Amino acid sequence: MTNLTTQYLGLTLKNPIVASASPLTKKLESAIKLDEAGVGAIVMYSLFEEQIIHDSLELDHYLTRGTDSFAEALTYFPDMNNFTMGPKKYLDHLSAIKKAVSVPVIGSLNGVSKGGWTRYARYMQESGADAIELNLYYLSTDPDLGSAELEETYINLVSDVRSSISIPLAVKLSPFATSLPNLVKRFAGAGANGLVLFNRFYQPDFDLDNLEVVNNLSLSNSGDMRLPLRWISILYGKVDMDLALSSGVHTATDVIKAMMAGAKVAMMASELLKNGYARVADILSTLQSWMEDHEYHSIEQMQGSMSQKSIKEPAAFERANYMEELASFHDLP
Amino acid sequence: MAKRSLITIDGNEAAASVAYRVSEVIAIYPITPSSTMGELSDEWASKGKPNIWGTTPHVIEMESEGGAAGAVHGALQTGALTTTFTASQGLLLMIPNMYKIAGELTSAVFHIAARSLAAQGLSIYGDHQDVMAARQTGFAMLSSGSVQEAHDMALIAHAATLRARLPFLHFFDGFRTSHEIAKIEQLTDDDLRSMIDMSLVMEHRARGLSPDHPFIRGTAQNPDVYFQGRETVNKYYELVPEIVQAEMDKFAKLTGRQYHLFDYVGHPEAERIAIILGSGGEALEAAVEDLVERGEKVGVVRVRLYRPFDNELFVKSLPKSVKKIAVLDRTKEPGSAGEPLYLDIVNALFETGRTEINVIGGRYGLSSKEFTPAMAKAVLDELKKPEPKKHFTVGIIDDVTFTSLDVDSSYSVEYPETVRCVFIGLGADGTVGANKNSIKIIGEETENYAQGFFYYDSKKAGTLTASHLRFGPRPIKAPYLISPNTANFVACHQFSFLERYDIVKYAQPGGIFLLNSIFGPNEVWDNLPVEVQRAIIEKKLKFYNINAYEVAELTGMGSRVNTIMQTCFFAISGVLPRDLAIAEIKKSIQKTYGKRGEAVVQKNFEAVDQTLAYLKEIKVPEKASGELTMRPRVPDAAPEFVKRTLAPIIALEGEEVPVSAMPADGTFPSGTTQWEKRNIALEIPVWEPDLCIQCGKCVFVCPHAVIRHKVYDKAALENAPATFKHMDSKFKEFPGMAYTIQVAPEDCTGCTLCVEACPAKDKTQVGRKAINMAPQPALRETEAANWDYFYKLPEADRTSFSFGTVKNSQLLQPLFEFSGACAGCGETPYIKLVSQLFGDRAIIANATGCTSIYGGNLPTTPWAVNKEGRGPAWSNSLFEDNAEFGLGMRLTLDKQTEYAHFLLKELSGELGTLAEDLVKSDQSNETEIKQQRDRVEALKKTLEGKKDPKSKDLLSLADLLVKKSVWIMGGDGWAYDIGYGGLDHVLAAGRNVNVLVLDTEVYSNTGGQASKSTPRAAVAKFAMSGKGISKKDLGLIAMSYGYVYVARIAMGSSDQQTLKAIIEAEAYNGPSLIIAYSHCIAHGIDMAKGLEQQKLAVQAGHWPLYRYNPDLVALGQNPLSLDSKAPSIPLEQYVYNETRYRMLVQSDEARAEMLLKEAQGDVKRHWEYYSQMAAMHYDKPAEGENI
């Protein structure tokens, strides 16, 4: 019998498929379905501090606008009993999911202020999260902001959050770092226990009919996995952190590749959003069959087996462009 | 017994808090200034607040006050403790039921925020005309004169009605007591229980209808016994005074506050006294106390129980020494022997044999006109005269019938230890809200008595607000504004007001003046108008300046300078130690904004913390200097009437307008907004001709008619100002001509709808459009000159092009311009369009509401006149009867046109073919209308000077021969609710009227109460938990007649369909109903995105566009065309852009989700229904078949 268990962030997961941060956890029923479908852990959708601030300010703006200006209409809206503003809704939801599912639940956080990052991380811990995933994403558009300065901010942030919580901490990154291994190493030094590669972003597109910029999120495909696969392979064994592969995991083959690159878990969302919860069982079953067919007895056995340090040609991961690919082709006998 | 707390609330809340707690059923309908009582009741009920018996009253919004009274009557007849709140026209609508309720000896209390009645003009402000119009109904009437009294008398009324078995009308002064915030002692539930006798409650219940002990009530009675039946009630009325006094005595034992039916204050041997009802009594008392101290033998009787009027008790309340009495009535009864209270007093003295007392009567305080101690003194002084004016007015200058008394305005009885503060702010800056908080802080955190009262001008954008705050160690009896030269502290929160209004006038010598300006401490003085500099120097004011805009910007407060200026006030005034004051401000911020989220609280905290570093005292020079002066009230070119009558009102000095300057019949000239030049936009649109495609969309959507386009002869450019922009016309109808889009910089509100609508983008830089916003101040002078030049360019000849395209329609002169509507209003573009298409021959019936306020609230009107002197003739009747009002207009036109035709026939011998041509012209297009106008001119020339009666008669009717267009306009509150019965009848009547419903899906003008148009899942007042039922389909109901033209339009979705529908509706020779989606500030949206929201509403299927044209049936075509596509986006994509929907998600997500699902179901069902209707096959009717 093959053993699918894996260790991620100090947590023992029954298998390496983790539901990544996505709208799938916005409803309790969906989270329960994920659990029932057999995922090894659930990452909550992200709590965005910026969204919380925006929602508060927006509500305040519209409730206030026009008031006390015109004698007949001193207000335009009733004075509601209460609003669920701030992180409470998220935290309550996290607690409810934690209570309802059997697998570990990881809170996901995207902050904007130092106070926000640490406070909300602590709140998540208090609400029962088994671990926290920091969704670090800041798109620098300021020519005067150097990469070192930005990285320093990230490191300090991880360090601050680390000191405010006792549960495991993972960092989810964008692929756009000048020297990813160095940055990752410093995250480890700041106290991060895990690294999730990579974040998927809303990317702007152009609407040519209206000459407007439109934002939307396109679901991933297996091809998108190449980038994290490479970096996980490179980082495996070089940093003392658990690695998670996110982006482009759709099939059992993808999971196997992730594991072989060195990931402890493979995170999925697009596939489940597109084809439903039942895919988890399908993938697990295929995974198991593949392992049996190829005589792997455990997931751990294959983890990192094709990482940079484990393969014959470490340079394969360093080839950066098309020309070198061609060159290597011509070198073939 | 629970300890009573001291709370700082307004009169509406004071009355409602008692009424709510002792009621089981509350039926309401919004009307200013009483709406708050209903809103609070609804809010409390929604939150499950119990009455004194531990259950939550049922609160229901009805379709009108008539409906509310009916529901109250029904609830009472079945034994519930029932109350309602209303005012003004609302009370008038309740009168029929009030007779019934009183005639049936029913215990009930109606709480009234007493308000003026619409006569020569409507007024939302306070006086006693409404309650005096109900004094004959048989209700007992109890009057309150202060916030505390409104609280106390509410309870006394509820207690007394049960014992007396007569209904009570408890009233207090609207827009004085109703809106005055004061520190009062709150009655506890135990107090209420002590006053409400449970055995009487049970008796009331037992008198209710029940099939378990059936009887009938409400019979028809005949001449034999009706009279006797009417007299049966006398004994109940006889007992009321005694019962009320007993309840007052019981109340006094409970609270220590003793009231009497008639309360006398003054010299024990007074010779001159005044009699008064309501809050004016406070001012009179203050004056009397002062005059008595000065040795004058004067006094005042404050009447509490006005009906039943007890002659004996009244006379007993008078000192025996009284020789002369002045009776003050806050009402007007034209043609009467005297006003009601005066007549009652005369009668009481006569019946009790005190005929030696000389009585005079006067009117005061109509429409919240100030009634000050100085006026009170003028009244008492009048009594000193050997021959005082028998009937007088006080508080105005009556230079026509010379009724008014002279008032020494320097007389003041303000206590020296009372601090008086005036804050002038911009509506949007939050000044009033902050001052409401300040007065609560002072009232509740210090030993001081405190009073706050707030004034608002009549515009909806760029509003000026004035907050009048008093506080001090002695009770404040000052139900009037702070007078000029008496304020210790004056603050101007909006720098630009200094050039328009005299604000420093309020400051007393040696007082403090605080200014918010964009200038630093070294620059501010030189930027003050010299008039302001002089006043500061002459009054020796301490002058402080702060750039609160900078602090607001820094701390994310945007345009809200409220907490910043509030912090300055506390820091300078020293009413509380600074640290304590800041702590209290923060506490109130937490309380006010806490539930909106931490970020809101934090930014306010930040603003408070940053403020003091920016606050500077300015060294005042010894002499005024500089060239800046205050602006003239109106431009020199304004007509005489505007200068004499409207200009003072524009300058907020309307008090100085004498009777002779006011039109006697409420008639005002059109087109007067052009003289205001309000300069409220921070940014205005700037046209870029190089990108412009001349589509006219910017002009089409402009709510304020401030952006216009014209084609004109290039020769006109010779004298154009240097900065005047132009390009070649691209109109196929006008080749070789010049074209300009021009903005009126001083009238623009900066709403940006034009920019949003502009489709032309720069190909090299798509962020630049053919219209872009730019700061107004730098453009003001040049663009004002350009506008003047543009305005004088000739308008396009209406006969020379078709109106059927958006761009062409916008060549027509708007005859609705520069209204005071909200910036970016969703209603006014439709109105403006109607004015362009048909304004030169339109008569407009306008329901009360937003449309009538921005259409006809003094000082000015946007309804304008073209160069031929023609324009829309506009009138407002009431809220409820607008459709009927418009129908009446149609009837006149039809009748008089018919008569003119008759006369033409009679005179055809003399007039020849002209008579025939005049009759047969169908005037179906502008050319024919022009030809008809020419014929009418010819007819007039022929008839002028003729002496025969028929010719003279025809001459007076000649203009009727040009086809007129009747437009009946109003909001959804009118069309769906209060006016629906009439609207239905008018549509059914088949006459040629055009009804335009500006549908905001909520009562916008009175502050966002739900109407039957409010959609499912939207939150509104009276639908706090999200409306649970679907929106009424007014269009579908109208279609059911088969002969009503019906269209649903949304210009943000299809401007062309909007235009087409309006043109078709007018062309249809029968009733037309157009329902126009009007985005609104009450939706909680970014008003700049209003058009986008309209588009989404259509795409989501919430607002399918259609036209139902009965004329098509005769052609064998389906009359219904669906002009929009099947719903293509989920409803949530539209609704969750709006606070009215989103706030439900934020407060009750599960319910929001449920209602959204149901609302999505509504969309589906409606679309299926409409598409089936639109797909139906219609055969051409057979000849003679009735359609």
Interchain contact B600–A (C-beta under 8 A): yes
Residues in chain A with CB shorter than 8 Å from the CB of B1143 are: 59, 63, 77, 80, 83
Phi, psi of B736 (to 5 degrees): 75, 5
* CB within 8 Å: B1081 and A74: no
Whether the Cβ atoms of residue A256 and residue A304 lie closer than 8 Å to each other:
no
Residues B867-876 have pLDDT tens digits of 999 999 999 9
Percent of chain B at pLDDT > 70 equals 100
**B220 and B314 co-located in one domain:** no
Whether the Cβ atoms of residue B299 and residue B319 lie closer than 8 Å to each other:
yes
Domain boundary residue among B196, B224, B254? B254
pLDDT at A333: 40
pLDDT at B715: 96
Whether the Cβ atoms of residue B1120 and residue B1173 lie closer than 8 Å to each other:
yes
**B889 and B757 co-located in one domain:** no
Q: Is residue A310 part of a domain?
A: yes
**B896 and B978 co-located in one domain:** no
pLDDT at A331: 46
Q: Is residue A110 part of a domain?
A: yes
Q: Is residue A173 part of a domain?
A: yes
A180 band by pLDDT with thresholds 50, 70 and 90: very high
Residues in chain B with CB shorter than 8 Å from the CB of A113 are: none
A73 vs B560, B1008, B1139: nearest CB: B1008
Question: With 90 as the cut, is the pLDDT of residue B1019 above it?
Answer: yes
Residues B1131-1183 have pLDDT tens digits of 999 999 999 999 999 999 999 999 999 999 999 999 999 999 999 999 998 88
Nearest 5°: CA angle at B768, between B765 and B772?
170
* CB within 8 Å: B1008 and A89: no
* CB within 8 Å: B1143 and A77: yes
Domain boundary residue among B961, B995, B1023? B961
- Cβ-based neighbours of B777, under 8 Å, separated by 6 or more: none
Which entry of B24, B63, B97, B115 is annotated as an active-site residue? Answer: B115
A76 vs B463, B560, B1007: nearest CB: B1007
A69 vs B43, B463, B1020: nearest CB: B463
pLDDT at A317: 77
Residues B207-245 have pLDDT tens digits of 999 999 999 999 999 999 999 999 999 999 999 999 999
* CB within 8 Å: B1021 and A72: no
Tokens standing for residue B49: 């607040």
Q: Is the ipTM value over 0.85, yes or no?
A: yes
* CB within 8 Å: A56 and B599: yes
A75 vs B33, B1007, B1146: nearest CB: B1007
What CATH number is attached to the domain comprising B229?
3.40.50.970
Residues in chain B with CB shorter than 8 Å from the CB of A89 are: 1149
* CB within 8 Å: B1008 and A60: no
pLDDT at A332: 45
Q: Is residue B436 part of a domain?
A: no
For residue B213, with 0-12 CB atoms within 10 Å meaning exposed, 13-18 middle and 19 or more buried, which class applies? exposed
Looking at CA atoms only, how far is residue A160 from chain B in angstroms? Answer: 21
Nearest 5°: CA angle at A14, between A11 and A17?
90
Average confidence (pLDDT) over A128-134? 97
Residues in chain A with CB shorter than 8 Å from the CB of B1084 are: 62-63, 65, 76-77
State yes or no: is B65 an active-site residue.
Answer: yes
Residues in chain B with CB shorter than 8 Å from the CB of A77 are: 1008, 1019-1021, 1082, 1084, 1139-1140, 1143
Residues B50-108 have pLDDT tens digits of 999 999 999 999 999 999 999 999 999 999 999 999 999 999 999 999 999 999 999 99
Task: Provide the terminal-to-terminal Cα distance of chain B, rounded to the nearest Å.
Answer: 73
**B679 and B725 co-located in one domain:** yes
Residues in chain B with CB shorter than 8 Å from the CB of A67 are: 430, 433
Interchain contact A208–B (C-beta under 8 A): no
Q: Is residue B522 part of a domain?
A: yes
* CB within 8 Å: B427 and A71: no
A39 band by pLDDT with thresholds 50, 70 and 90: very high
Give B977's DSSP letter. Answer: I
Interchain contact B1021–A (C-beta under 8 A): yes
* CB within 8 Å: B560 and A71: no
Q: Nearest chain B Cα to A88, which residue?
A: B597
Structural domain boundaries enclosing A180: 6-330
- In chain A, which among 35-54 make CB contacts under 8 A with chain B? 52-53
Residues in chain A with CB shorter than 8 Å from the CB of B1019 are: 77-78, 80
B1081 vs A58, A76, A82: nearest CB: A76
Q: Which long-range contacts (CB under 8 A, 24 or more apart) does B1134-1137 make?
A: B1134/B1093, B1134/B1096, B1134/B1097, B1134/B1099, B1134/B1100, B1134/B1102, B1135/B1017, B1135/B1018, B1135/B1100, B1135/B1102, B1135/B1159, B1137/B1085, B1137/B1089, B1137/B1093, B1137/B1096
What CATH number is attached to the domain comprising B296?
3.40.50.920
Tokens standing for residue B72: 């109250």
Q: Is residue A1 part of a domain?
A: no
Domain boundary residue among B254, B269, B286? B254
Q: Is residue A117 part of a domain?
A: yes
* Amino acid at residue number B779: L
Q: How many domains would you assign to chain B?
A: 7
**B285 and B241 co-located in one domain:** no
**B969 and B1105 co-located in one domain:** yes
Mean pLDDT of chain B: 96
Residues in chain A with CB shorter than 8 Å from the CB of B460 are: 66, 69-70
Looking at CA atoms only, how far is residue A41 from chain B in angstroms? Answer: 27
- Cβ-based neighbours of A115, under 8 Å, separated by 6 or more: none
Q: What is the DSSP string of B1144-1160?
A: HHHH-HHHHHHHHHHHH
A72 vs B598, B603, B1005: nearest CB: B1005
Residue among A259, A248, A253 nearest A307 (CA): A259
Interchain contact B1147–A (C-beta under 8 A): yes
Q: How many domains would you assign to chain A?
A: 1
* CB within 8 Å: A57 and B428: no
Question: With 70 as the cut, is the pLDDT of residue A327 above it?
Answer: no
Interchain contact B115–A (C-beta under 8 A): no
* CB within 8 Å: B1019 and A80: yes
Question: With 60 as the cut, is the pLDDT of residue A324 above it?
Answer: no
State yes or no: is B516 an active-site residue.
Answer: no
- In chain B, which among 155-184 make CB contacts under 8 A with chain A? 175
pLDDT at A61: 94
**B275 and B133 co-located in one domain:** no
Interchain contact A60–B (C-beta under 8 A): yes
pLDDT at A21: 92
State yes or no: is B935 an active-site residue.
Answer: no
**B680 and B660 co-located in one domain:** no
Interchain contact B1006–A (C-beta under 8 A): yes
Task: Provide the terminal-to-terminal Cα distance of chain A, rounded to the nearest Å.
Answer: 41
Looking at CA atoms only, how far is residue B465 from chain A in angstroms? Answer: 7
Residues in chain A with CB shorter than 8 Å from the CB of B600 are: 56-57, 59-60
Structural domain boundaries enclosing B600: 452-552+560-570+577-618
Region of B430 (left: φ > 0; alpha: ψ -120 to 50; beta: rest) is left
pLDDT at B1187: 56
What CATH number is attached to the domain comprising A143?
3.20.20.70
Q: Is residue A189 part of a domain?
A: yes
**Choice among B280-294, B350-364, B567-581, B974-988 with the minimum mean pLDDT:** B567-581
Question: Which of B595, B603, B1014, B1129 to mutate to probe the A interface, most A CBs <10 Å?
Answer: B595
Residues A264-304 have pLDDT tens digits of 999 999 999 999 999 999 999 999 999 999 999 999 999 99
For residue B863, with 0-12 CB atoms within 10 Å meaning exposed, 13-18 middle and 19 or more buried, which class applies? buried
Q: Is residue B867 part of a domain?
A: no
- Torsion sign (Cα): A229, A230, A231, A236: positive
Question: With 70 as the cut, is the pLDDT of residue B1107 above it?
Answer: yes
A57 vs B39, B599, B1020: nearest CB: B599
Residues in chain B with CB shorter than 8 Å from the CB of A82 are: 595, 1147
Interchain contact B963–A (C-beta under 8 A): no
* Amino acid at residue number B817: E
Residues B748-787 have pLDDT tens digits of 999 999 999 999 999 999 999 999 999 999 999 999 999 9
Interchain contact B456–A (C-beta under 8 A): yes
Q: Is residue A17 part of a domain?
A: yes
The residue behind tokens 């889009």 is B741
The residue behind tokens 């941060």 is A21
The Cα B299–Cα B303 span in angstroms is 13
Question: With 70 as the cut, is the pLDDT of residue B985 above it?
Answer: yes
State yes or no: is B32 an active-site residue.
Answer: yes
**B678 and B741 co-located in one domain:** yes
Q: Is residue B984 part of a domain?
A: yes
Given the DSSP bridges, would you call strands B181-185 and A212-216 parallel, antiparallel or unpaired? Answer: unpaired
Which entry of B8, B13, B21, B32 is annotated as an active-site residue? Answer: B32
**B601 and B738 co-located in one domain:** no
Interchain contact A84–B (C-beta under 8 A): yes
